[in-house]
Copies of this chain bind each other. A is one copy, B any other.
């Protein structure tokens, strides 16, 4: 009992970032079918179709309905950070309520722990906003090259 699996990123976020990175690899082209993304990333299309709603309503992607519809990034890959994606999927990155909303906790003026949750949240935000979809795309290309080389 206790400590079954702590501090894990949700699959929603993992899938979401993978989907966005997949879209970044096809930036500039016709809209991409969710079906194809799901197949490439080996993820349930139905589940992705839920995740995609948050991404669209956050303004990160545009969608087209009907035949030849699909999804496209709303901005250039360099202009979308992993932080943008995670905020769209999980809400504001705030580890404890009383950091962003001091009234929610009566101990704010005496509690010594609140400060570090604030600091940690900020560090996480900094790290996440330092990585763009363009970075992910270039990482993918590099990995692909390495795989080819190691297969020779």
A interface residues with partner B (beta carbon < 8 Å): 2-3, 5-10, 12, 14, 17-18, 21, 42, 50, 53-54, 82, 86, 89-97, 107, 109-113, 115-117, 119-120, 123-124, 127-128, 131, 136-137, 139-140, 143-144, 146-147
Contact = CB atoms under 8 A, between A and B. Distances in A.
A56 B17 CA distance: 38
Q: How would you classify the secondary structure of chain A's contact residues: helix, strand, loop or mixed?
A: helix
Nearest to A93: B7
Taking the full assembly, how many copies of this chain does it contain? 2
Contacts of A6: 10, 89-91
A94 B95 CA distance: 16
A8 B96 CA distance: 6
